[in-house]
């Protein structure tokens, strides 16, 4: 006779009935987070500026009823309208993963206002815009999970990325302040801080090193991986599993934290 199997997670996945929004879900870390949250039972709205990659991610998700919202997180009115439409279609937004972002590098003397403003707007103001849009709904239901994908660059400095570092430090400041504000409202707010992660965004950093040093892209990747004590690039799934854990109902005491997923590269103080 076969031993009884525990399939309760499959029949009652822990995030069943929760509507989760993941920004930047068409590639890299955002795609992996969407796959993980769908595996945990959530119904997803995938946000980005291009429909094609969002539809490609949607095709990979477990479960039914997922949707996409084509919107730019830097446009306060547009992202507000898109998230209101998503809530009307798939229910109150219970989980917000502020993942969309971009990283451009330059020495400060060559960081012109356009680059500075772009880094601050997409990484920091975009996080504010999405949070501002969904927070009242979470406060009304008295349950919510907000996870901001910051970076180790939100915890320590790196040369030649001062605008990106400033923006990601800002995301951690926003996380900490909002966590105190909503601490008694059933909502948790945390940041996850990946180290160098194997995604299209890292490809941009690798191309930059290749262009500036003439080294091969494998060589450039090896250098980036060497900054991780585990000697490897972080994988998008490493980040996604941490985000999934923070969204579980039992994670409600983990609040206001900035959690590195970086193989020991930086230690949160």
Positions in the binding site for ligand NAP (CB under 6 A): 23-24, 26-30, 48-50, 53, 72-74, 99-103, 122, 126, 149, 151, 194, 196-197, 199-202
Strand order across the 187-194 sheet: 67-70, 43-48, 19-23, 93-98, 144-149, 187-194, 258-261
The 3-state DSSP composition of the chain as helix, strand, coil percent (nearest 5) reads 50, 15, 35
Can you tell me the distance from the alpha carbon of 238 to that of 103, in angstroms, rounded to the nearest whole number?
20
Residue number with CB closer to ligand NAP (111 or 197): 197
Determine the Cα–Cα distance for residues 182 and 229; give it in Å rounded to an integer.
Answer: 35
In whole angstroms, what is the distance from residue 58 CA to residue 26 CA? 9
Q: How many CB atoms lie within 10 A of CB 157?
A: 10
Distance CA 15, CA 263 (A): 27
* Cα(172)–Cα(192) distance, integer angstroms: 9
Q: How far is the CB of 3 from ligand NAP (least distance, A)?
A: 41
Q: Name the token pair of 92.
A: 């109150």
User: Is 196 marked active-site?
Assistant: no
- To ligand NAP, the closest distance from the beta carbon of 149 in angstroms equals 4
Q: Cβ 176 to ligand NAP, closest distance in Å?
A: 18
Q: In this complex, which beta carbon is closest to ligand NAP, that of residue 179 or of residue 233? A: 233
- Least Å distance between CB 195 and ligand NAP? 6
Distance from C-alpha of 56 to C-alpha of 31, rounded to nearest angstrom: 9
Least distance from C-beta 81 to ligand NAP, angstroms?
14
Q: How many CA atoms within 13 Å lie on the side-chain side of 144?
A: 26
Separation of alpha carbons 157 and 169, rounded Å: 9
Is the Cβ of residue 87 or residue 224 nearer to ligand NAP in the bound state? Answer: 224
Residue closer to ligand NAP, measured from CB, 149 or 178: 149
Closer of 40 and 68 to ligand NAP (Cβ): 68
Distance CA 245, CA 12 (A): 16
Positions marked catalytic = 164
């Amino acid at each position: 006779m076969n031993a009884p199997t525990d399939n309760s997670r499959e029949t009652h996945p822990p995030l069943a009935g929760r509507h989760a929004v993941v920004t930047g879900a068409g590639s890299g870390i955002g795609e992996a987070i969407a796959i993980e949250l769908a595996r945990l039972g959530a119904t997803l709205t995938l946000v980005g500026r291009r429909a094609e990659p969002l539809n490609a991610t949607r095709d990979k998700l477990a479960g039914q009823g997922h949707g996409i919202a084509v919107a730019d997180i830097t446009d306060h009115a547009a992202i507000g309208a898109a998230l209101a439409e998503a809530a009307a279609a798939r229910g109150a937004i219970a989980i917000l993963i502020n993942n969309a972002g971009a990283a451009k590098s330059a020495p400060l003397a060559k960081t012109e206002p356009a680059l500075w403003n772009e880094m601050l707007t997409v990484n920091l103001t975009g996080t504010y815009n999405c949070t501002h849009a969904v927070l009242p709904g979470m406060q009304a239901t008295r349950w919510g999970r907000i996870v901001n994908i910051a970076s180790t660059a939100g915890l320590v400095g790196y040369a030649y990325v001062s605008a990106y570092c400033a923006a990601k430090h800002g995301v951690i400041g926003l996380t900490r302040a909002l966590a105190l504000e909503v601490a008694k409202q059933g909502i948790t707010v945390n940041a996850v801080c990946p180290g160098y992660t194997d995604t299209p965004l890292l490809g941009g950093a690798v191309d930059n090193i290749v262009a500036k040093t003439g080294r091969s892209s494998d060589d450039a990747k090896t250098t980036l991986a060497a900054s991780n004590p585990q000697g490897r690039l972080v994988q998008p799934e490493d980040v996604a599993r941490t985000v999934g854990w923070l969204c579980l109902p039992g994670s409600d005491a983990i609040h206001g934290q900035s959690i590195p997923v970086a193989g020991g590269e930086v230690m949160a103080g």
